[in-house]
Chain A
Amino acid sequence: MAAVETGESKSAARKAGKKHIKKHRLGVSINMTPMVDVILLLLTFFMLTTYFSKPQAMEINVPPDDKNTVEVAESNLLTIRVAPDNTIYWNMAREPAKQVEFADLHALLLERIKSNPKLITLLRIDRASTYKMMVDILDEFNLADITRFSLAPMQPYDVREIQKARAS
């Protein structure tokens, strides 16, 4: 009994004397594996569904009305025609049309705008051609800094010009 009492009093004294008692920590270990699994699944889902590339846009200005016509010196006029099979023909003023590959169009446009800064470009695309041709050619115009261009429908005359260029 005495020993117990002394023991108790000793421990009481120790409690009183030492301020910092090291409490026995409970080792709580949570199994995180399922949570991590779910998080990884979510991460994969978001990584796969997200998309960053916002579409770009090309700006086009068209004249307000069909009726007001602008007189253009014919010597400044570059006509580009696109045939139904997506071949490209070009001519200055009233020269006969010549075929040009799309890959060479950029160089051609640069050369034309350099030799004549007042160049006005007319783009005539056949209705059976594709939209991609129009975007590609307009893109080339933008790259070559050709700001004065207009879109015009194909006329029977243009079809004849293309046929003539093919025959020669």
Chain B
Amino acid sequence: MARIKKARISVRIDMTPMVDVILLLLTFFMMTTQFRPPEAVVINLPASHAQFKLPESDVIIVTISRDGRIFLGSPSQLIMATLFGEENKLRPEIEITKDNLSSLLVQARVANPKLRTVVKGDKEAPYGPVEDVIDILQKSKITRFNLVTEAKKT
């Protein structure tokens, strides 16, 4: 029996349109991407129906972790340098105590009067430290502040 050599059908798919679309998508993601800022502690945000978008700059963030520790941080390197010295300007947030929160907040507001104070608490954090922080803010004459939440899925 003679072996019949089957003629292979060469399937050539034109990949050009696909590559075009992929390149477009890549460009889109490269332009729009924002990397998640590094965090000293992991915070699970509580959910709310609030619609207000948090500004990206001119904020100082008081973080209250799950175990009730307090951190202070700001996206601005200038603020971090003023508060914690030049060597700490790249760190996202630094643990502080209740007692020096007030003076640090005052210093930060002197450095940048437009600063918006933001409280970012873990949803499992005990209320005690939160109450203390709000009390300190009130005493440092910061009467308007924001609580960071994530959008509630309804």
A-to-B contact residues, CB < 8 Å: 32, 36, 39-40, 42-43, 46-47, 49-66, 82, 125-136, 138-139, 142-143, 151, 153
Contacts and interface: CB of A to CB of B under 8 A. Distances in A.
Instruction: Assign chain B's interface to a size class.
Output: 35 or more
10 contacts: A50-B29, A50-B32, A56-B151, A62-B134, A62-B145, A63-B143, A82-B127, A131-B127, A138-B48, A139-B152
A134 B137 contact: no
Contacts of B25: 43, 47
Given A58-B149, A59-B144, A126 B127 contact: yes
A131 B45 CA distance: 10
B144 A134 contact: no
A81 to B, nearest CB: 12
Given A42-B30, A53-B150, A128-B128, 19 more contacts: A39-B19, A46-B30, A50-B29, A56-B148, A56-B151, A57-B148, A58-B50, A58-B52, A58-B147, A62-B137, A126-B127, A130-B126, A131-B127, A133-B127, A135-B47, A135-B48, A138-B147, A139-B48, A151-B134
Contacts of A132: 46, 123-124
B127 to A, nearest CB: 5
A56 B51 contact: yes
A36 B19 contact: yes
Interface in B81-132: 118, 121-128, 130-131
Given A62-B138, A130-B125, A46 B26 contact: yes
B30 A57 contact: no
A40 B144 contact: no
Contacts of B54: 54-57
Given A49-B33, A50-B32, A143-B49, A60 B147 contact: yes
Interface of B: 15, 19, 22-23, 25-26, 29-30, 32-36, 45-54, 64, 118, 121-128, 130-131, 134, 137-139, 141, 143-152
A87 to B, nearest CB: 14
A39 B23 contact: yes
A139 B49 contact: yes
Contacts of A47: 25, 29
A130 B46 CA distance: 11
B146 A64 contact: no
B148 A60 contact: no
A40 to B, nearest CB: 6
Best-surrounded residue of A49, A56, A58, A151 (most CB of chain B within 10 A): A56
B29 A129 contact: no
Contact of A43 (B22, B48, B145, B148): B22
A163 B118 CA distance: 35
Contacts of A40: 22
Nearest to B151: A56
A129 B121 CA distance: 13
B134 to A, nearest CB: 7
